Amino acid sequence: MEIADLEVICFDSGDPLGHLKTRWANLVRKNNPTRIALPKRQLMAIRISTDDGPEGMVVANTRKHELAEVEGHLRKALIGEDPLLRDRIWHKMYAMEIPRLILSAADIGLWDLAGRLADMPCWQLAGGNRTRAKCYVTPHPDFGTPDDYAEHAVACKARGYGGYKIHGYLTMDPETWEPIKPWSRSFLDADLDICRAVRDAVGDDWLLMLDPAYIYSFEDSVRVAHEIEKLGFGWLESPMWEGDEWMDRYVELRNQVDITIVAPEMNPGYHFSRAKWIEAGASDISRIDHYFGGITSCLKTAALCEAHGMRLELHSTATNGYNLQVLGPTTEEFCTFLEIYDLDPEGGENFVGANYLVGEPGNRRPPWIAGQVPKIDAEGYAEIPIEPGAGITIDWDYVNANRL
């Protein structure tokens, strides 16, 4: 069996807020104009075909890459290869310096193909361990006032989630509420106001976390770490830039504070860079997601962390059905959470994949997915899919009807 052909389609995935008319969705519409009010939500659907029948498919956010570039790279790397030799193909793409997002998408597509061929989900193909994963909620940056964050957190706690991770002000000035250049300034004191308001609202018995998203200086990171430690927060995530040249500063941050430090999230070096950070002692919990090497790189990072007796936490709420394929073969002890959005915690039944991604009214799923996505139960756990493949079946009729 060998890869005979592939297809790449750029499509509009629809209004990300869809028909959701909750207070929390309205806050996002109001306060995140640069992040949400986009004319087209561009994704790429990729189908990998073999000469023997099986296909693999993946939906990818390739951001700045043009369709012709994506298809060109994939054809050079994949055509003629045995699709079951995923690790060989991964290293071939790495040696070819194929851009990270394209490499990652190809890897997930190959895992999907293997799972469909074996008639089992990828997480079982990778070993299998658990059938559900604990979720925590993270609100959008610039979500609103501290009271808005606090009320949302209370609703999420009541829903049964395992915790709440705060993103503060990144694209709006919280004093004037005017847009700023994204990630150009930090608002440490305003972020701390959110942290205090949320802790006061939810009480002392619930996990809270802060993710400043790489915006703080070293000095600010030390200060905020001490402040949220007093508030009983569980971890501080990615407070500073995460290039390898900042690794020594993360080591020093760990030396100066007691709160758990989570990093690196956005370092482009796949599992190789995570190994460097683990060896250097630059974080207490490592961080990665399927955009950084696909399922293959995530599983290698999970094995690294388990061998070193440290946790791994997965980033990303977008297409996080793929993250469930990594959580399935790992243990809750070493890889605890699925990170999700929830803009309707009071609304009853929720689904994995950010419940603001809805299709028709009453149909809570992205319109480009065929069938329902996994549910989140009353205890705040996400079902891990049992269908063959990587957990997401593409609605090709929708994709073809919404080509860009």
What does pTM read for this prediction? 0.94
Residues 160 and 297 in one domain: yes
3-state helix, strand, coil in the chain (%, to 5): 35, 15, 45
Residue 114 burial (C-beta neighbours within 10 Å; 0-12, 13-18, 19+): buried
CATH code: domain of residue 173:
3.20.20.120
Could you tell me which of 153, 134, 167, 168 has the C-alpha nearest to residue 313? 134
Type of residue found at 355: N
Q: What is the dihedral of CA 188, 194, 195, 199, to 10 degrees?
A: 170
Residues 110 and 139 in one domain: no
Residue 388 resides in a domain? no
Residue 27 resides in a domain? yes
Residue 126 resides in a domain? no
Answer positive or negative: Cα dihedral of 28, 32, 37, 42: negative
CATH code: domain of residue 53:
3.30.390.10
d(CA 239, CA 228): 13
Residue 44: φ, ψ to 5°: -125, 130
Residues 154 and 41 in one domain: no
Other C-beta atoms lying within 10 Å of the C-beta of residue 369: 22
Residue 102 resides in a domain? yes
Q: What is the pLDDT along the chain (404 residues), one digit of tens a residue?
A: 999 999 999 998 877 666 677 888 888 888 875 554 444 678 899 999 999 888 999 999 877 899 999 999 999 999 999 999 999 999 999 999 999 999 999 999 999 999 999 999 999 999 999 999 999 999 989 999 999 999 999 999 999 999 999 999 998 999 998 889 888 999 999 999 999 999 999 999 999 999 999 999 999 999 999 999 999 999 999 999 999 999 999 999 999 999 999 999 999 999 999 999 999 999 999 999 999 999 999 999 999 999 999 999 999 876 778 999 999 999 999 999 999 988 889 876 666 665 445 455 455 467 788 877 788 898 999 999 999 999 888 999 999 999 99
Domain hosting 297: range is 132-383
Could you tell me which of 339, 349, 295, 294 has the C-alpha nearest to residue 314? 339
Residues 139 and 79 in one domain: no
